[in-house]
């Protein structure tokens, strides 16, 4: 499986591309959330980064979360509302 988040850097500009265009790039599971956390840590540690662009592959930026996962309380939607807030 390909990475959800594509990290590209050129001339102090980082472009993060959510890469699930067939699903409209929803942020729906723990591994995707972990990719964002790792990318943010990488950016924070690199003093040459001056700008970050967050975009989505295909025709949509981000559909939000996966409604099926939210309904079934799977992935990042798992747990109570308080649990979810504390993870963010």
% residues pLDDT > 70 (the chain): 73
> What's the helix, strand, coil split of the chain in %, to 5?
40, 20, 40
| Stated pTM of the model | 0.73
pLDDT value of residue 2 = 60
What domains does the chain contain, in order, with CATH numbers?
5-87 (3.30.300.220)
pLDDT value of residue 49 = 98
pLDDT tens digits for range 25-63: 988 777 888 898 899 999 999 999 999 999 999 999 988
Separation of alpha carbons 78 and 59, rounded Å: 28
């Amino acid at each position: 499986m390909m990475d959800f988040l594509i990290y590209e850097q050129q001339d102090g500009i980082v472009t993060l591309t959510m890469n699930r265009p067939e699903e409209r790039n929803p942020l729906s599971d723990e591994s995707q959330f972990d990719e964002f956390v790792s990318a943010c840590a990488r950016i924070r540690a690199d003093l040459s980064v001056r700008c970050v662009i967050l975009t989505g592959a295909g025709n949509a930026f981000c559909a939000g979360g996966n409604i099926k996962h939210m309904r079934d309380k799977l992935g990042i939607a798992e747990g109570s509302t308080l649990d979810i807030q504390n993870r963010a």
